[in-house]
Structures are given as C-alpha cells and as structure tokens.
Amino acid sequence: MFKKFLGSVREFKTPTILTLIFIVAEVVIEVFIPFVTALLISYIQTPSADPLADISFLAGKIQPTDTLQMPVILGFGITLIIMAMLSLTCGGVAAYTCAKASSGFSRNLRQDVFDRIQTFSFENIDKFSSTSLVTRLTTDIHNVQMSYMMIIRTAIRAPLMLIFAIVMAAVMGGWLAMSFVVLVPLLAGGLLLISRRAMPAFRAVFRKYDRLNESIEENVRGMRVVKGFSREEYEKKKFGAAADDIRADFTRAERIVALNSPLMQVCVYANMIFVMLVGSMLTLDSFGELVNVGHMSAMLTYGMQILMQLMMLSMIYVMLTMSSESMKRIIEVLDENSALTNPEHPVMSVADGSIDFDDVSFKYSAKAERFALSDVNLHIRSGMTVGILGGTGSSKTTLVQLIPRLYDVTEGTVRVGGVDVREYDLDTLRGAVAMVLQKNLLFSGTIKENLRWGNENASDEEIVEACRLAQAHDFVSSFPEGYDTHIEQGGTNVSGGQKQRLCIARALLKKPKILILDDSTSAVDTQTDAFIRAGFRSYIPDTTKIIIAQRVSSVQDADLILVMENGKIAAMGDHQTLLAGCDIYQEIYTQQTRGGGDDE
C-alpha cells in the first residue's frame, strides 16, 4: 500500500529528502542548546572550574579563574544565538520543503485517483457512489496529505529528538535520568491506550462522511424540487441528523484524546519535582561535583523535550490511524481495474454504422438474479433510422448502452461495422458513437466551449450550422452574448428544452457513424422535434440514428421501430406493420392520438 502511495511522490522526491536532512540538522542543534546552556550556568555558578572540561577538543582554551570573564560569557551567548538561528533556519527550510512535498504529493495522488476514475466503466462507477468518490478525492486525500506531512517531518523529528534527548540527559544528569525509566513507559503506555480507545470512533466518522456528502449533493442538485415541494425544513433536519451523527463520533473520540494533555502534564510535573528534589539533594551532598545547577537546568529541558516528543508520537499515531482508513478507501479506487479494457491488438477504425445484436443477454452484475436484456437479435443497416418505444423499465437505455460498449454483454455478441465491439479500441468505438441523453449535461463555460466537446476544432460556421439543425440557433442568438454566453454548472441558466437542443447540436458536430438519442427531445414540442429529425435526414444521411422516445410521433417515420417489454424486443417493424400487428404499439398509439393529437 505504501509503495503505491510513494509512486505519487514523483517530482517531489527532492523536497522530501531535503526535509529529512534539515529536520536531522534541526534536531542535532536543538539537543545541544541545553548542553551549552548548562555549561554557561555552571561557569557562572563556579567560575574557578573549567566550563569546557567535558569537551576534550575545546578543553584548555579557557584558563580557570576565580572571577567571571565577560569574553567567556559573550562567547557562550554568541554560540547560543548562532545555534538558535541555525535551528530556526533549519526548521523554517524544513517547513517550506515539507509543505511543498506534501502539497505536491496530494496533487499527484488526487490526479492519479481522478485518472483512474476516468478509466472506469459504468460497472465500476456503479460499485462506488458518486458522493463516495468525491469524499475520497477530497477529505480522504487531505487526511493522507496530513499524514505524509507528519511522516516526513514530525515522525522523523520526534524519534530522533527522543533518542538524542535521552542520551544527552543520561550524559548530563547521570542518576537523575532514572526518572525517565519510569515516566517514559508510563506516558508511552498511557498515550497508546488513549489512542487505541479513540480509533473506533475516528474510523466510523469516515464512513459517515459519505452519507453527509450524499445529503449535500442531493439537496443542491434537487434544489428546485425541494423548493417546489416546500421540503426545506425536512432537508435541514436530514442534513442536521447526518452532521450531528458525525459530531457525536468526533466528540466521543476527542473526549478520549483530550486525556493526553493531563497525562502529559502529570509526567512533566513529576519529572520537574524529581529533578528539583533529587537534584538539589545531590548538589548539596556532593558540593556540585556530581550534579550542579547547570545539570539540573539541562535535565529539566531534556525532560520536557522527551515527554513532548512522546506526546508528538502519540498524535502521529492518532493521525496515521485515522488516515489508514482514508488510505484503504483511496487504494480501493486505485486498485479497481476497469471492467472494460482494450484488446491486445485493437481495431482502430469503424467501417460504417451497421449494428448487429446476436443472441444478446445482459445483467448488470454477476450476482443479479435476472437479466436486464434477454435473447436480443437485431440487425440494423448503416444509415437507418431506428425508433425504440417501451414502458419504464423495459431496458431501452440498457440496449443502446451496449453499442458504445459502456457495458459488456453477458451473453452473445454486439457488432458495429461488422466487428465485435470488444475488438475495437475503446476511444475509436466511442468516437464513432454519439449519445444524447434525456438528462444530458452542460459544463461550466460558454455555449461555444460546450459545443466544441463534440469537435474541438469545429469552426464558428460549423457550430452555427449544427445549432440551426438542432433548432438551437434562434434562442442562442437571442442571448446578449450569443454563443459566448456563459453556461452555469449543470446548465442551470437554460431551460430543459434548450439544454437538450444544445446537446443535440454538440452530438451533430461530432459527425458520428451512429447517433443515439435517448429520449432527448422529451422537453421540446412536437413541431421542433419534427424539424430536428428533418435536419438529421439532410445533415447526416449516412449516420445510423437510434431514437428512444415516449411519443409515437417521434419515431413513426423511422425505417424500423422496436417495441420493448421486460428486457425483450416484443415486436419490430415500420409504423404501419406495428399498427396492424402489435397490441402494445396499437395501445400506445391510440392513447396518444385520442382526440386527434397525431395523424396516422
């Protein structure tokens, strides 16, 4: 798992390594500051002694006297200032490189996860909810970023500081360092116990974030419905319940983690009492030969450093444990392989728009009890116009999703241009098929930018022509900024019918070999619908056109009409054939034309 995460470090290896180097330098300097301070205090207390006798390579430079020498004191002061400045510089550089490395790592990791999601088939997307994927790309990656920051900085600094401080405490304090034999295991054990007790609550939080984000997404996307039914109070309570659930878990966890501070304070003050009491006794008994005030000062500082580093290690443990759940959720996405892959030697061109279904059956999951499609046999010549009618749940959309290989068939074969769709390069196949959905999406940007999703190199003339054919040019021209009008996220500043016509124009710019309209004229009137279909005949006569519709008038002039029921093709033929021999089609037609709405 860690190896996979390290793969996202990439170009940020240098700042990561620099962070480690400067952290080591900072720690070394910082642990020597109390040592030099202790020498200074010892010299001030007893100027007749050699303050540097413990440092062999400096011994002899200062001659012991009975009076304080200001150059010596100034020398110590300058040394401490230099050491403090070096420590500060190393810490500042480490903080900068650490921030750069962790931010870059999270950017790369977020890009890697997003890139992986882009390879997913519909089957893979069905496995993860959209809100869960959003949470993994945001909250979970943020947690991993914080862990990475702590690992390359605090998780290196704390153990090194702990080890160096214990060594220096033993050197400076002698028997006084025995206090750490009791306090270190006591504090370490207590912090570990506290952390382990808090972990179940932290783990539960991340699973509940998905539900919270789901509530937000549903509310924002369905704001018009919420206001239309005056359900604001219900949505507030729903969101409040999800937020309160997370608050309760965090409160429970933080209540346990809050015990860290009093435990830490007990150990710090216990160490201070021990050092002051025992150190004073040893100083008096030995007349400062075994322990002096300088040693006691160093012991207090090293004691604080040791206990603080244990505290930091506890926080690292908590953060890493919290992040482990996020890591697992991210790895689930990175390890998820697309259910649809390119063959070893893919076909790189689509000959024409002919479509063949041979004994096709399909179900969305291997565990599903029933097939969504059963025993489908269908042959469509290139350039034909095919209409599909059927009730809700008859699997009309499922049928057409097999053509661009958004799903793979469970049984049988789907061929496009005479070639099994599983033998095509996926981009090649989908480049030859354009789908316009009933709830198609417009992205943030101008109308022109949205239309060029169909053909990024389309000229302004081609864009206008496609919009004329899709009956979109008139309303676009009525906007003050015309084709440069900005579309809000999701196309919320245009009507449903306008959005559908823009999506049809976008598909026409693609000039596909197969055009699939999945109930994509449901929001336009019948006259506009007829104009759009007439445009298809003149603009893309050689393109195979598949029109899923609820209105008979939208498909009655098609070359072939399919009537679907319960995942099967109940009947097929042209309008007159079905009107004469298909009860389902007759019923739909009669219901829609009762009162003279449609002509035969």
Give the model confidence (pLDDT) of 255-304 as tens digits.
877 777 787 777 777 777 877 777 777 767 766 566 667 667 777 777 77
Where residue 512 falls (left for φ over 0; alpha for ψ -120 to 50; beta otherwise) is beta
3-state secondary structure of 472: coil
Q: Do residues 500 and 520 make contact, with C-beta atoms less than 8 angstroms apart?
A: yes
In this structure, of 182-191, 198-207, 547-556, 570-579, the range with the lowest mean pLDDT score is 198-207
Compute the CA torsion angle 286, 288, 293, 298 (nearest 10 deg): -80
Cα–Cα dist 384/235, whole Å: 48
3-state secondary structure of 503: helix
Q: What is the mean pLDDT of the chain?
A: 82
Q: Sorting pLDDT into bands at 50, 70 and 90, what band is 68?
A: low
**What are the tens digits of pLDDT across the range 79-121?**
889 999 999 999 999 999 999 999 999 999 999 999 998 888 7
Rounded (5°) CA angle 52-55-60: 55
* Cα within 13 Å of Cα(342), Cβ side: 13
Q: Could you count the other beta carbons within 10 Å of the beta carbon of residue 401? A: 18
The contacts of residue 297 (CB under 8 Å, 6+ apart) are 34, 37, 38, 41
Structure confidence at residue 174 (pLDDT): 64
3-state secondary structure of 290: coil
- DSSP H helices, 402-444, are 426-431
Cα–Cα dist 378/250, whole Å: 57
Structure confidence at residue 61 (pLDDT): 42
**What's the pTM?**
0.69
Q: Do residues 565 and 391 make contact, with C-beta atoms less than 8 angstroms apart?
A: yes
Cα–Cα dist 208/57, whole Å: 62
In this structure, of 68-77, 231-240, 546-555, the range with the lowest mean pLDDT score is 68-77
Q: How far is residue 22 CA from its own chain's centroid?
A: 31
Cα–Cα dist 543/516, whole Å: 10
3-state secondary structure of 257: helix
551's tokens: 């209105």
Containing 133, the helix (H) or strand (E) segment is helix 130-135
